[in-house]
Each structure stands twice: as structure tokens, then as C-alpha cells.
Structure 1
Amino acid sequence: MASLKEVRSRIQSVSSTQQITKAMKMVSAAKLRRAQDAIVRMRPYAQRLNSILSNLTRSMDEDVENEYGIVREVRKVLIIAVTSDRGLAGAFNSNVFKGVTATVRERYANLPAANISVMAIGKKAHDYYGRGRGFTRVGDYTHVFAKLSFDTVRAAAEVAMEGFRDGLYDEVVVVYNEFKNVATQVIRAQQLLPLVPAEAPANVKESNVDYIFEPSKEEIIQTLIPQSIKVQLFKAVLESNASEHGARMTAMDKATDNAGELLKALKLTYNRTRQAAITTEILEIVGGAEALAAG
């Protein structure tokens, strides 16, 4: 049985840890509110822009070239893995790594690992894929979440778009955590490039997607399509940011509860140990008194 000093030390240690997890939960809750507001505002814009882009692509003439919609034989792939900069968020980051592995297994099983590149957004992904996972790591985007903005994400999107245009990658896929609620994040693998127009819904008439191009279709391609790709990646990063804070808040809440349960058990052990020590001392005193009386 542990001594009273050892039990007291463990109680103090667990109590200090519980205070830290409580504080981290409160910080994550505050950050989550801001991150959730950002993604809620972003979703309608991104969805509407994507819808316009799909209609625009369907209505284009075949002679209008779209360099971001060229479908090639898939020989080289870029996977954008979006994680966090810090840990203590439960399975948040490991689920992204599993999602990347599942995407490779399901879509690119016939490709050698050397033909698969990973763009790591977030320090955890940067470190994970920098330790000889067999994939080629592209760029350094560990600074994105330090000051999250469209400009910081745009730089990563432009690298992926340039690589696709130059033929370095035949497909670009982003793997991230989609935010559902505080306790639920869903892994998504979304194809960014090439752009494949969605099929028109059966109840949508052709006249509803008949656009008048001003100043020209070529200029629309050069502006709207690249902007849409950047927006889709920015949306994925915002989803991941909100998911991170939700996952960390949930993890710290569970850690706080577990610390509370452990404190109860330790205090019970402390009281039992203390009672046993007192009983032993009493028995020794009584035994000594009886020995003296008998002498």
C-alpha cells in the first residue's frame, strides 16, 4: 500500500492537472464560438459560388478552354491534409491521417508512394509526414493557423493550382474534419482539381442556368474559377479550425471528468491508508501498555 505522502502527492498532481484541463476547456469554448461563427458565415457563400461555378461550367462552349477542368490519366496526386498546430484534441489529428491513408487505399492504390505528394496544413501534419511516411511533402504551411485568414490559405491554394496547371499533379484532393457540432467531426475527402461540373438537377430547367457573360467567358474563367478553388480550400480550413476547437473542448471536458473520478478514488485511498495507520499506532500503544503492565 502507498504511503500517505505518496497519495497526497498524487492528489495534488491530479488536482493541478484538473485545473489545467478546466482552463483549456474554457479557452477552447471561447475560440469555438468565433470559429463557428466564421464557418457559418462562410458556408452559404462557398455553396452559392460552387453552384454558380457548376452552372457556368455546364453552359460553356467546348471551344472555351478551362485549364482547371482538364481530366487527365491519374499518375501523380497531391493530397492536402488539414490538421491543427497543437495536440490535446482527442483523435482529431489522427483521424485526418487515417483519412489520407483511406483515400490513398481507395482511390490511388495503383500508384507508387513516390507519385503521391502531401501538402500539410498545420504543424501536426507537417511533422507527421516529415518522418518518412513514403510520401513527398510539399511546402511549409505551419503558420496558417497562427493568423488564419483568406490570404494565408490562398498561398497554399495557388501552389496546388500551379502544380495542376503545369502537370505536376493530375488530381488534387483535400482531407479535413468537417464541423457538425461540438462533439462531432466528420472526415471529408474533397476533390479540388480537376473541376468536374455537377450534373444539373432534374427539376432545373436549362433557362435557369443560361448566363450572359460580361465581359467574356475567357475572363470569367480567369477570375471566377480560380477564386472558387481558393474559397473551397479556405472553407475546408475553416471547417477544420472549428472542428479542432470542438474536439479539444470535448477532450478537455472528458479529461476534467476523469480527473474528478481519479481524485475521488485517491481521496478514498488516502482516508483508508490514514485510518489503517492510526489503527496500527493505537494497537502499538495498547500492546506497549500491556507489556509494561505485565512487566
Structure 2
Amino acid sequence: MPSLKDVKMKIVGVGKTKQITKAMNMVASAKLRGAQARIERFRPYAGRYREVLAELAGKVEGDAHPLLTEHPEKRRCAIILVTSDRGLCGGFNANIVNTGLHLAAEKRAEGMEVQFACVGRKGRDAVRAAGQEITLAYGDRMGSVDFALAGSVAQEMIHGYETLALDEVWMVYGEFVSMAHQPPRSLRLLPLEAPEADRDEDGAQGPACEYVYEPREDLLLAELVPTYVKVQVYRGLLDTAASEHAARMAAMDNATRNCNELINTLTLLYNKTRQASITSELIDIVGGAEALNG
């Protein structure tokens, strides 16, 4: 049985760990409010952008823009893997990495070469440890996500697709659904599939209103399609940032709860050990008294 000093030191150590996990939970909660507000503000814009592009793409030919045209031979595929820079958020990063590696295995089974563009240190380190090819790596950038970062990543992929260096581009990220649910998602960015317009209650397809474009549709499409790819990448970054804080908040809450349970267990062990020590001392005293009387 451990000594009273050892048990007491363990209780003190677990108590300090509890203070750390509780503080990290509060920090993650504060950061989550800002990240959640950003993604909730951006989603309506991304949705309206999708509606306008759907209506515009329906008025032009399928090969009106290089990003709308599929390559006849598919040889190389790029996967944008978006993870966090820091850990202590449960299995959040591991789920995203596993989804990306599984997608890479599927593409290799189709006869394609796969390369990764990693945003976030955790994804970069995991992909590097798995022996995968990394062409782009952005570390320590998820703490301050901005549209410039999304534009830089998207522009590299767009240039590779237009120069026939890439035949497919996918993005794997963590989608912020709720505080308790942040599943990994995979989205094909290139070749760009023209988004389908929403259907009304009667099932008829079409936009809610008719748009008048100036300049011509093909000229406007040349500007909107690359921006649409950047918007999707930016949305993936915002989703992952919010999901990271939500996952860390849940992980630290579980860690704090485990600390409380461990402190209770150690306190019970301390009391049992102290009681056993007192009982042993009483037995020695009684035994010594009996020996003197005898």
C-alpha cells in the first residue's frame, strides 16, 4: 500500500492538472465564440455565391472555363488537408488525417499519383510520418485564418490544374456542425462541378430570381469561377478553425471531469491508508500494554 505522502502528492499533482485543463477549456470557449461567429457570417455569403454561379453556369457551355473542363487523362491528384496547429483536441485531427489518407489510397487505386498540400502542423506532421508526398505546407497559420491564406492555397491549385500539372483537387477539412459534432468532410474542388440550382416546392429547378449580367456571361465566369474555389477553401479553413476550438473545449471538459474522478479515488485511497496506519499503531500500543501487564 502506498504511503500517505505519496498519495497526498498525487492528489496535489492531479489538482494542478485540473487547474490547467479548466483554464484551457475557458480559453477554447472564448476563442470558439469568435470562430463560430465568423463561419456563421460567411456561410450565407458562400451559399449566395453558389446560387449565382449555378445560374450563370447554366447559361454558358460546359467548356466555357478551364476549371469546368475535366481532363481526358487523370494522372495526378492533389489533396488540401486542413488541420489544426496544436493538439489536445481529442481525435479531431486524427479523423481528418485518416480521411485524407483513405482518399489518397482510393485515388492511387484508380492509378493516380497523389500529393498533399497541408494547412496546419498536425496534418503536415502526420502526412510526413506516413511517407506521403507534400508539395505545400502552411504551419502556424490556423490561429489567424484570413482570405489571403485561402487565396494563396487555392491559386496554387488553380495554376496546377490550368497547366495540366494536376487533374483533380480535393479538400479534406473538419466541418463545424455543432458544439458536439465536427465530422471530417472531403470536397472535390477541381474540376469544378457547376452547382445545381435549388428546387422550389413543386420540384422545378431554377433560381429564385433572374439575373442580368454585365459584362457577358463568359467574361464574368472567368472572374467568378477562380473566386468560387477560393471561397470554398476559405470556408474549409473557417470550419476547421471553429471545429478545432469546439473539439478542444470538449476534450478539456472531459479531462477536467476525469481529474475530479481521480481526485475522489485518491482521496478515498488516502483515507483508507490513513485508517490502516492508525489501526496498525493502535494494535502496537495495545500489544505493548498487554506485554507490560503480563
- Scaled to the shorter chain, the TM-score interval is over 0.9
The answer for the alignment partner of 2:205 in structure 1 is 204
The 1:151–1:198 alpha-carbon spacing in structure 2 relative to 1, beyond 3 Å, is closer
* 1:267 positional shift: 0.1
The answer for the alignment partner of 2:158 in structure 1 is 161
The 1:121–1:32 alpha-carbon spacing in structure 2 relative to 1, beyond 3 Å, is same
**Conservation of the 8 A alpha-carbon contact between 1:82 and 1:175:** yes
| AA in 2 matched with 1:122 | G
SS at match of 1:174: strand
* 1:61 positional shift: 3.5
The answer for the alignment partner of 1:127 in structure 2 is 125
| AA in 1 matched with 2:205 | V
The answer for the alignment partner of 1:67 in structure 2 is 66
* 1:211 positional shift: 4.5
**Conservation of the 8 A alpha-carbon contact between 2:22 and 2:256:** yes
The 1:119–1:215 alpha-carbon spacing in structure 2 relative to 1, beyond 3 Å, is same
**Conservation of the 8 A alpha-carbon contact between 1:59 and 1:209:** no
Q: How does 1:190-229 map to 2 (within 5 A)?
A: 190-200=187-197, 201=199, 202-205=203-206, 211-229=211-229
| AA in 2 matched with 1:203 | A
The answer for the alignment partner of 2:275 in structure 1 is 275
The answer for the alignment partner of 2:177 in structure 1 is 180
The 1:151–1:171 alpha-carbon spacing in structure 2 relative to 1, beyond 3 Å, is same
SS at match of 1:179: coil
The answer for the alignment partner of 1:116 in structure 2 is 114
- Looking at structure 1, the residues matched to 292 and 89 of structure 2 have their Cα atoms a distance apart, in angstroms, of 64
The answer for the alignment partner of 1:147 in structure 2 is 144
How big is each residue's C-alpha offset from its partner over 1:48-104, in whole Å with a ceiling of 9 and x where there is no partner? 101211221121135x63011110232211111111000010010000012113323
**Conservation of the 8 A alpha-carbon contact between 2:56 and 2:217:** no
How big is each residue's C-alpha offset from its partner over 1:20-45, in whole Å with a ceiling of 9 and x where there is no partner? 11001100111111111000000010
- Looking at structure 2, the residues matched to 10 and 182 of structure 1 have their Cα atoms a distance apart, in angstroms, of 33
* 1:289 positional shift: 2.0
Q: 1:170 aligns with which of 146, 159, 167?
A: 167
**Conservation of the 8 A alpha-carbon contact between 1:78 and 1:118:** yes
* 1:127 positional shift: 1.0
- Looking at structure 1, the residues matched to 214 and 108 of structure 2 have their Cα atoms a distance apart, in angstroms, of 40
The 1:153–1:143 alpha-carbon spacing in structure 2 relative to 1, beyond 3 Å, is farther
- Looking at structure 2, the residues matched to 246 and 96 of structure 1 have their Cα atoms a distance apart, in angstroms, of 15
* 1:293 positional shift: 2.5
Percent identical among aligned pairs is 40
| AA in 1 matched with 2:188 | Q
How big is each residue's C-alpha offset from its partner over 1:227-268, in whole Å with a ceiling of 9 and x where there is no partner? 111011000110111111110001111111111011100000
The answer for the alignment partner of 2:266 in structure 1 is 266
Unaligned runs of 5+ in 2: none
**Conservation of the 8 A alpha-carbon contact between 1:55 and 1:209:** no
Q: How many residues align?
A: 289
| AA in 2 matched with 1:57 | A
Tell me which moved more, 187-196 or 212-221: 212-221
| AA in 1 matched with 2:82 | V
* 1:222 positional shift: 2.8
- Looking at structure 2, the residues matched to 285 and 111 of structure 1 have their Cα atoms a distance apart, in angstroms, of 83
**Conservation of the 8 A alpha-carbon contact between 2:60 and 2:218:** no
CA RMSD for the aligned pairs?
A: 1.8
* 1:117 positional shift: 0.6
**Conservation of the 8 A alpha-carbon contact between 2:77 and 2:107:** no
* 1:209 positional shift: 7.2
